[in-house]
Structure 1
Amino acid sequence: MTMAATAREIVLLPGLDGTGDLFDRLAAGLAEEFTVKVVRYPNDPSLGYAGYAELVRNVIGRREVFLLGESFSGPVAVRVAAQLGSQIKGLVLAATFLKNPWPSWLIRWASHAEPDATPKKIRDAILMGSYGDDELRNKVDQIVRSLSRPVRTARLRAIAEVDVRDDFAKLSCPILVLHGRKDWLVSMTAMQKAVCNKGGARIVAFSAAHMLLQTCADEAAKEIRAFAKSKTLWEAQYED
């Protein structure tokens, strides 16, 4: 099977903010290889991971696509990939997790805190490290201020309960994992273990903090494009 006969659309699932606005740089780097579809989540605090997965399945419909889940949306992407099977031609997981990355009590506590409780400089250091720029920092600040507290609380509580390790273990599609070596928000260790236990998946580490898709957009896009072009090799591996 040639790449011309395969899906050339990639669907991007956003982080905790749900806006998709932080994908601008990555989307520009992917445009030469893909038709890019950015999913934007509604400001609905009643939605949990099951609801987001249903929303994404409806967006995809019957099309064959590559799927990317960033941070909060990693478990959404894994669930959708498990549910849609061969429609997902490749799965990219960026700066994310399969099970809540912190103790559940701590995430629930954080869900009650005001977004402004963390000083902006500390928040930016956690999210971007030393790799951010003024444009990105200002954009993050605007998004944080615009995210409603009920939605933020609901999403953090969803993280506290999520566990898609069994779904991940059962996936048969090609998988690319992208993670920052200096990501203090979501440790890379758990994803490394999951990839090692599963086999048939590749992990690429960047000199970056949590927001690697924004601070290393060109490098991340390059890895994703290469991943898509190597799909026939992955198919041969799984057919063997």
Structure 2
Amino acid sequence: MANGPIEIVLLPGLDGTGDLFDRLAARLAPDLTVTIVRYPQDPSLGYAGYAEIVRNVIGKRPVFLLGESFSGPVAVRVATQLGRQVQGVVLAATFVKNPWPGCFIRRAALVDPRTTPPRLRDAVLMGPFGDPELVKKVEGIVATLSRSVRASRLKAIAEVDVRRDFDQLVCPILVLHGRGDWLVRKSPIQRAVCERGRARMVVIPGAHMLLQTRSAEAAAEIVNFTKSIAEAHHEA
């Protein structure tokens, strides 16, 4: 890695907007160069298409990658494809294989998220760590996210399995997960980490929206992770 600012590329969750990274990005900015990827609302895209978008954003730059929730498999695939150009991967509240039975996820793709009771939605996403500002932002995203795009992304989740790519990663890996994440249980990614080895998992008290509700704790772990790797590269 060449001397210079450390860049981390943030890949968004199911909404694809990147708007929910504002708190995390603000906490990372004093130490890292932050690039946020925003996915187009295109229902024809699958995981391969999202990976291509991310590769085009990165170009030839050495970067760290963070994949949140839906984008965990994107981060894993891109890191495998780009090899040592990716200096490290952070996987937050995510998975390397569909986290629920495929039939359950496909059925969820047919449901209009606007019919979900807001209190139930917020309890699942934020637990006791939400606040009015975040609730309002989530409501805005739910209201504007295309149903066809949401459905296509959920169908992609139902079929995804990047465990082989995960095992082949050559870069360091940091996994962040909420202890109270009901949406994506921590045990499958915990099992993948244990089977693979050479990866660190940090469990933080929090729900699925860990990067939004516990941004200070998450940012501290990410900064320590990236800086330690950068320093090791500089000394090598």
TM-score, L = length of structure 1 = 0.95
Q: Percent identity of the aligned residues?
A: 66
1:6 is displaced (CA, Å) by 6.2
Q: Which residue of the partner structure matches residue 141 of structure 1? A: 139
Counterpart of 2:107 (choices 106, 109, 120) is 109
Equivalent residue, structure 2, for 1:15: 13
The 3 A distance-change label for structure 1 pair 232 and 33 is closer
In structure 2, how many angstroms separate the alpha carbons of the residues matched to 1:98 and 1:131? Answer: 26
Alpha-carbon deviation of 1:204?
0.5
What's the CA shift string for 1:57-92, capped at 9, x where partnerless? 000000000100000000000000000001101100
Q: Distance in 2 between matches of 1:68 and 1:80?
A: 11
Partners of 2:178 and 2:205 within 8 A in 1? yes
- 2:5 and 2:33 in contact (8 A); partners too: no
Q: CA RMSD in A?
A: 1.6
Match of 1:33 among 11, 31, 55: 31
8 A contact 1:94–1:177 mirrored in 2: yes
Deviations 1:172-225 (A, max 9, x none): 101000000000000000111111111111000110000000000011111000
Q: Which range is displaced more, 49-58 or 111-120?
A: 111-120
Q: How far apart, in 2, do the equivalents of 1:235 and 1:107 lie? A: 41
CA 1:162 to 1:6, structure 2 compared with 1: closer, same or farther past 3 Å?
farther
Deviations 1:32-68 (A, max 9, x none): 1111100000000000000000010000000000100
Equivalent residues of 1:64, 1:87 under 8 A apart: yes
- Structure 1 counterpart SS, 2:34: strand
Q: What is the number of residues matched between the two proteins?
A: 235
Moved more, 75-84 or 115-124: 115-124
Matches within 5 A, 1:69-80: 69-80=67-78
Residue 225 of structure 2 aligns with which residue?
227
Report the counterpart of residue 46 of structure 1 in structure 2: 44
Segments of 5+ residues of structure 1 without an aligned counterpart are none
SS of residue matched to 1:210: coil
- Choose which of 83, 86, 104 in structure 2 pairs with 1:85: 83
Q: Secondary structure at the match of 1:138?
A: helix
Check whether the contact 2:177–2:186 (CA below 8 A) recurs between aligned residues. yes
Q: Counterparts of 1:66-215 in structure 2 under 5 Å?
A: 66-215=64-213
| 3-state SS, counterpart of residue 184 of structure 1 | coil
Q: Cα offset for 1:234?
A: 6.7
Checking the alignment, whether the CA contact within 8 Å between 2:109 and 2:155 is kept in structure 1 is yes
Structure 1 residues 234 and 165: alpha-carbon distance in aligned structure 2, compared to 1, 3 A threshold: farther
Other structure's SS at 1:230 match: helix
Q: Which runs of 5+ in 2 are unaligned?
A: none
Matched, 1:216 2:217: no
Q: Distance in 2 between matches of 1:21 and 1:48?
A: 21
